[in-house]
Amino acid sequence: MVTYFKQAYLEIANFILNALDKIKLDEVETFVKTIEEMYRQNKKILVLGVGRSGLVGRAFAMRLRHLGARSYVVGETITPSVEEGDLLVAISGSGTTQVVVAAAEAAKKMKARVAAITSYYDSPLARVADLVLFVPGRTKLAAMDDYFARQILGIHEPLSPLGTLFEDTAMVVLDAVIAELMKRIGKNESDMAKLHANVEIP
């Protein structure tokens, strides 16, 4: 019998719903306009994240490709070099992931733009970025030496460990960005289906 499933489900779903009040729509607008600009100018959009954030990035890059954008995932063998005027979308809840920060710095040296998706404005990633899209999330593990204090205060570990809340919220945010882009560039589901993979591994 599942004991914590429903409670965890509600914790994650409610966090995503409440996150909408913390997300700044002007940041979303800037991000969407930048992606649209890359699309219309046929510039490359390179997406990067590590671990589960990387999986979120892959899903976003796939949908951008379905829209007809020149999107790539950093680290893949077929990903081309970044050039002046391209865009790197860097995803890191903490904004301190070394690989992601290093890639953002390298992209800036090549005169590409960097869009950071993170929970921390004061992070190294946010500081190097041209634009930041704030996505709330619990990205830090609670300190072990605070365990007893947390127990006394009735503060318990969440049922969504590590970066789950950031990753799940970022996924929804980026899917909503895709919906906005569909309308702005005049694409529909049929258009996207034409660019969906039709040679797949069974």
Active site positions, annotated: 167
Cα 20 to Cα 56, 98, 118, 143, 173: the distances in Å are: 18, 28, 15, 28, 9
β-strand pairing of 113-118 with 87-91: parallel
Residue entry with tokens 């007809």: 68
Residues whose CB falls within 8 Å of the CB of residue 133, separated by 6 or more in sequence, listed in order = 23, 27, 28, 30, 31, 115, 116, 117, 118, 173
